[in-house]
Amino acid sequence: MQDRDVNASANRPDRDKFQGHSGIVSSAGKEEVFVKWLSENGAKFVDRALLRCYENDVRGVHAARDLKAEEIIIEVPLKCLITVEMGKATDVGRAVLEAGLELDAPKHIFLMLFLLLDRCNSDSFFRPYYDVLPGSLSNMPIFWKPNELTWLEGSYLLVQIEERKCAIQNDFKAIVDAWPAFKRICTLDEFSWARMCVCSRNFGIVINGVRTSAMVPYADMLNHFRPRETKWTFDNTRGAFTITALQSIPSGGQIYDSYGQKCNHRFLLNYGFAVEDNYECDGYCPNEVALLVRLAPEDPLTARKRLIWIRDGAVGVKRIRLCASDNENFRACLSLLRVVAADEVELDRILSQNPYGTYRTASDIHVPVSFRNECAALSLLKHTCKSMLEAYPRSLAADKSAISSNTLSPFSNERHACIHVKSEKLVLCHYINFAKTALNLARCHDGEFEATVSRLFDEPVHRHVASYCNGIVRQVRHAVPKLLSVESDRRQHKLNLSTPTIV
């Protein structure tokens, strides 16, 4: 599966909801044929697991008996795998290689080429596998109808969906140009289906020292859950792909695979679902929002500011993915905001008189520039998040109530869209509160500052702002070598904390 995580360890999503489906237990004809095909071709331990069909094309794998930790659940021999090399060896694969095409997801493309070509052959060895692949992928956002896309209004995911569609179209056109017979093999719709099928079901593996990707029949029937309860690998000594339990799994329990620690936009875009409580065991939440930071065209300093922005490859506008934790992106975002918020004196300081010589790029300004600048950058962060929050048609409270009231059916696109936008709004709220807290702490008395910072450290949800205040805010309050003192800043800038041009 795309970026499936082999070593991950945490979170607790729609486990019970997925199990809620297990009332409808059947193993329809095509699934039986598929399991028989695997067994006849050397797959082992298929009796340890049971493929359950909840609804049309929606399945999961369940333990057929109590499974112990370290027990192999399923072993799929190499001959049943479709690999990138098999796609490269096709006529179209060779034409693509010869043309040296720059494709969106090259490894996936070769798997798709094999799949699309070989499924035209009614006698294909893989026929039983093709017959169980989902016929429609209506949960994938690239296939959502216009009314369904409105559920994502306000989210940058809408842009990414369009970009994905565009990339698929470009790849299709480039392949047809390189091998014109391809348009008789599949339509753009079928090509898009294959793209999402491969994207949501392939595994990155190493076979005899060669790093590749593969479609692994049966292994791709496991649904996502974290923390992971199984591990998978290509075992060269067995010549087979294996899935092993990491803990005991009771008879009848669903056997899950972790698709990795991911933001909900990646789950939704690549797999067609979003995880309601996307938290790791340590409380970390990988959900992000794509914040837009932009130099204000009406700012007379913009031309000079561009000089430093351009070193990042950004022409005055940058999207930064932020999650509600301290990380490199958060520090880069603050750095860019320091430039956007800079007045002339501060910009001179950024461009020349900084503690480490000239900054490489506008994302590298990790030391505060001045008291005023830091407060202005925080105000800008707050206002940017507020205006992004206002761009969603529905409030966070309304999302929460729609999700908890179960008015949206468990696997509906609307529910997944709602979970996704809620995830983004939570990150925006985190930064609005972050900026408010930090601005208050920048201006309060020493005693209050110390007491508040230590109180914030005690609460896990506030550790991010506590650590920022303890470091950067403390620095700007007391001034550090090579920075103007707070008092001198106040005199020079008359404590002009008004928000600079808001994005």
**30 or 36: CB nearest ligand SAM:** 30
Who contacts 471 (Cβ-Cβ below 8 Å, separation ≥6)? none
**26 or 358: CB nearest ligand SAM:** 26
**411 or 434: CB nearest ligand SAM:** 411
**138 or 496: CB nearest ligand SAM:** 138
Q: Which CA distances in Å does 292 have to 87, 303, 316, 436, 490?
A: 39, 19, 11, 19, 30
Closest CA to 412 of 221, 298, 317, 272: 272
Distance CA 304, CA 181 (A): 53
**242 or 437: CB nearest ligand SAM:** 242
The structure tokens 């493309």 sit at 109
Beta carbon of residue 211, minimum distance to ligand SAM (angstroms, whole number) = 21
Beta carbon of residue 210, minimum distance to ligand SAM (angstroms, whole number) = 23
Distance CA 123, CA 3 (A): 32
Beta carbon of residue 131, minimum distance to ligand SAM (angstroms, whole number) = 12
Beta carbon of residue 201, minimum distance to ligand SAM (angstroms, whole number) = 5
Distance CA 267, CA 270 (A): 6
Beta carbon of residue 222, minimum distance to ligand SAM (angstroms, whole number) = 6
DSSP 56: T
Report the half-sphere exposure of 389 (CA within 13 A, side-chain side): 21
Beta carbon of residue 412, minimum distance to ligand SAM (angstroms, whole number) = 11
**14 or 364: CB nearest ligand SAM:** 14
**1 or 81: CB nearest ligand SAM:** 1
Distance CA 64, CA 385 (A): 49
Indicate the helix (H) or strand (E) that contains 12.
none
Q: Which CA distances in Å does 440 have to 14, 405, 499?
A: 38, 36, 15
Are the C-beta atoms of residues 423 and 267 closer than 8 Å to each other? no
Closest CA to 92 of 115, 76, 121: 115
Burial-class residue 86 by CB neighbours within 10 Å (0-12, 13-18, 19+). buried
**114 or 359: CB nearest ligand SAM:** 114
Handedness of CA 417, 418, 423, 425 (dihedral sign): positive
**156 or 271: CB nearest ligand SAM:** 271
Beta carbon of residue 322, minimum distance to ligand SAM (angstroms, whole number) = 25
Distance CA 240, CA 41 (A): 12
Distance CA 344, CA 323 (A): 31
Indicate the helix (H) or strand (E) that contains 206.
strand 202-207
Beta carbon of residue 476, minimum distance to ligand SAM (angstroms, whole number) = 44
Q: Which residues bind ligand SAM (CB under 6 A)?
A: 1, 13-14, 18, 57-60, 134, 139, 200-201, 220-221, 223-224, 271-273
Beta carbon of residue 53, minimum distance to ligand SAM (angstroms, whole number) = 8
**138 or 358: CB nearest ligand SAM:** 138
**75 or 220: CB nearest ligand SAM:** 220
| Secondary structure E strands in 251-385 | 254-257, 288-294, 317-323
Beta carbon of residue 60, minimum distance to ligand SAM (angstroms, whole number) = 6
Beta carbon of residue 338, minimum distance to ligand SAM (angstroms, whole number) = 40
